[in-house]
Chain A
Amino acid sequence: MSAKLIALRRVSGDAPVMSDEALLAACATGDSVALGALFDRFADAVYRFAARLLRNDDLACDDLVQSTFLEISRTAASFRGTSSVKTWILGVAANIARHTMRSEQRRRAHQAGFLEKQQSVPVLVDAQVERRQLLARIAEAIDALPRDQQLAFILCDLEQLPGAEVARILEVPEGTLWRRLHSARKALRAAVERSVS
């Protein structure tokens, strides 16, 4: 979509039926109603992304979501229509996570995970428990990935965003993104295999 197609108009009470692009354009003019409508439309996606990235740390997730929508209100005018609005918004969240979220949450989560691991029951007696533990191992493995690999895996494989768009919003060559994705997948597979064996 070309930027020329985006009308610079206010949201006048019918925000729910406006296109994502039009809402973003209205947001670029400083329209807080449009920002509210964008929040209503995409907050769930950003929360899901945040929860995956930050291991369900509620406060950190709230911070990331809030920072993301504030950044959107600042930078909405820079949207050029080269990706979907959802990809662009998750890209904003990813870039904030990459650049400004401190690694403290991750360290805390690692420590908590480590403690959990030490205290967990070593013998699996039930298929459901076994599956829960397998999922926990994968979550830990995702958490242990380098941030760039985490982002690639979450955005491409879990959120199922197009790789070319993800590469563009993360400002990396496509080849680099695929390499990161491959490394992430291999690490996760190894974690699953270790868990099963």
Chain B
Amino acid sequence: MSREFDDVIALAREIPLNLPSPSRREEVRTAVLASHRLVRLPLPPTRRPRTTLSSASRMGVAIAGVAMAAAAVVLAVVIPRDRAAPAPHVHATITARDGARYTAISTAPDEIVRLEHGTIDVAVAPLHPGERFRVIVGDAEVEVRGTAFTVNTADDRLVSVDVHHGRVEVRPRQRPTTMLGAGEAWRAPQRAVARELLEQVEFELPTPTARPTRIERAISSPPSPPSAPPVIEPPARAAEELAYDEAWTAMRANNFGKAATTFARVMLLAPDSSLAEDAMFWQSVALARGGKRAQAVTAFRDFLDTHPRSPHAGEASAMLGWLLLDSGEKAEAARRFRAAANDPSKAVRDSAQSGLDSL
């Protein structure tokens, strides 16, 4: 370094910096891990998919192969990896009540369960030093150290926590942190609960007990005799279809954050379906419309890498081109516009041409 500038550099190092509070840093960390999990969902078919537990409906499918007679659904949180890898270290046994929607985001030493809706009972084995177990809700975080407790949410908001034994820390956003012991409970303010219960009616998904899945029906029903007339039932709407509709409702209401999250849930619920392809595209659009430009760029790139022959590929290329053009990445923007220039849709072709002209 030239000594001529030593004093300027020393002064520049003294400029005070606003570094994040531990809780803000933790929020970002959790968001990174959650997004990482979602981005990796559409795995190529040669890889063994991770089985996470994301909804009561999916759980019903898992349970169908194991024990249909079980009255309560008890499932250990397991995320299998590649065959050669050792089994991941997990501490929690989760019992989902009807309609609960949750996802295991990470394993030990920092286990995170993302609970979006409904109630889960959690039993956590004693943790080793440095290990954590958390349940994250949209507006709160519940952290435990070797305990059993129940978390109840409605539409991504924490409604209540009941501790059966051990200790639990409840950290609602914009409200004070509460430490609960055995037999203690935390309740959201009454007005919020009433509002959430009202909203719950709108967002409730059909549960395996209320409406068995196709696999459950296949296993539990005795085979029909050859002479029996065929039973015609209206097809049950799958959880991913309902989530897809919910995402579109959010999209139409310009609630792009919720739309992006809910499209991501569709990908979680049905990673191999054609709906997942659509959901991935619309999640990218929702991110772009919600102003999350960097994430939208990543999402569009992922979409085009994963589904290069999608009917949405041209549109995605053109939209990605514009985002890249705005951020000064002209070379890639040009490549994306050129990829969209022969799209069957005239609107997409025109947009791509307009992008190329702007370059």
Residue of A32, A39, A66 with highest tally of chain B CB at under 10 A = A32
Which 9 residue pairs across A and B have the least CB separation, nearest first?
A56-B18, A67-B294, A51-B17, A185-B5, A69-B32, A100-B327, A100-B294, A32-B106, A157-B9
- Considering only CB atoms and an 8 Å cut-off, how many residues of chain B contact the other chain? 55
Residues of A contacting B85 in the complex (Cβ-Cβ under 8 angstroms): 10
Indicate whether B223 reaches chain A with its CB closer than 8 angstroms: no
Q: Which residues of B contact A52 (CB under 8 A)?
A: 15, 17
Q: Are A33 and B107 in contact (CB under 8 A)?
A: yes
- Is B108's beta carbon under 8 Å from chain A? yes
Report which of A16, A51, A73, A138 forms a contact with B39, defined as CB distance below 8 A.
A73
Q: Give every chain A residue within 8 A of B295 (Cβ-Cβ).
A: 66-67, 70
- Complex: how many Å from CA A65 to CA B33? 12
What are the residues of chain A within 8 A of B131 when measuring CB–CB? 13
Across the interface, B31 reaches (CB within 8 A) one of A31, A61, A66, A157, namely A66
Q: How far is the CA of A101 from the CA of B25 in the complex (A)?
A: 20
Q: Are B327 and A101 in touch, CB under 8 angstroms? A: yes
Q: Which residues of B are interface residues toward A (Cβ below 8 A)?
A: 1-2, 4-5, 7-9, 11-20, 24-25, 27-29, 31-33, 35-37, 39-40, 81-82, 85-86, 89, 105-110, 128, 130-131, 292-295, 297-298, 324, 326-329
Residue from the list B15, B89, B327 in contact with A99, Cβ < 8 A: B327
Query: Is the CB–CB distance between A157 and B14 below 8 Å?
Result: no
Measured between beta carbons, the chain B residues less than 8 angstroms from A177 are none
Which of A42-50, A114-122, A168-176 forms contacts with chain B? A42-50
Decide: A185 near B8, CB < 8 A? Known: A16-B130, A58-B18, A101-B327.
yes
**Least CB distance, B157 to chain A, in whole angstroms:** 22
Cβ of B273 to closest chain A Cβ, rounded Å: 21
Distance of A43 Cα from B22 Cα, bound (Å) = 11
In the complex, how many angstroms separate the beta carbon of B129 from the nearest chain A beta carbon? 11
Q: A138 near B36 (CB under 8 angstroms)?
A: no
User: Do B298 and A139 have beta carbons less than 8 Å apart?
Assistant: no
Q: Give the docked Cα–Cα distance between A65 and B108 (Å).
A: 23
Q: A13-B131, A99-B329, A157-B1 are in contact. List 15 more A-B contacts (CB 8 A).
A: A10-B81, A10-B86, A12-B89, A30-B40, A33-B106, A33-B107, A33-B110, A48-B17, A58-B24, A61-B20, A73-B36, A74-B39, A98-B328, A100-B293, A189-B8
Is A130's CB within 8 Å of the partner chain B?
A: no
Q: Are B105 and A65 in contact (CB under 8 A)?
A: no
- CB pair A35 B36 closer than 8 Å: yes
List of B residues within 8 angstroms of A22 by Cβ: none
A102 within 8 A of B: yes
Residues facing B in A151-197 (CB within 8 A) are 153, 157-158, 185, 188-189, 192
Q: How many angstroms between the C-alpha atoms of A185 and B12 in the bound complex?
A: 10
Point out the residues of chain B lying under 8 angstroms from A134, CB to CB.
Answer: 11
Contact yes or no, B15 A36, CB < 8 A: no
List chain B residues, Cβ under 8 A from A16: 130
Tell me the residues in window 124-139 of chain A with beta carbons closer than 8 Å to chain B beta carbons.
Answer: 134-135, 138-139
Pick from A61, A66, A189: contact of B32, CB below 8 A. A66
Q: Mark A50-91, 1 if CB is under 8 A from B, else 0.
A: 011000101001111111011101100000000000000000
Q: Are A70 and B29 in contact (CB under 8 A)?
A: no
Per the bound structure, the CA–CA distance linking A63 and B324 in Å amounts to 17
Q: CA of A70 to CA of B287 in the docked complex: distance in angstroms?
A: 15
Are the C-beta atoms of B20 and A100 separated by less than 8 Å?
Answer: no
Given contacts A33-B110, A70-B36, whether A135 and B5 have CB atoms under 8 Å apart is no
| Of B15, B25, B31, B108, the contact of A13 (CB 8 Å cutoff) | B108
**Cα of A30 to Cα of B47 in the assembled complex, Å:** 12
- Asked if A15 is an interface residue, CB under 8 A from chain B, the answer is yes
Q: Are B9 and A158 in contact (CB under 8 A)?
A: yes
Given the known inter-chain contacts A67-B298, A99-B327, A158-B12, please indicate yes or no for A47 contacting B130, CB distance below 8 A: no
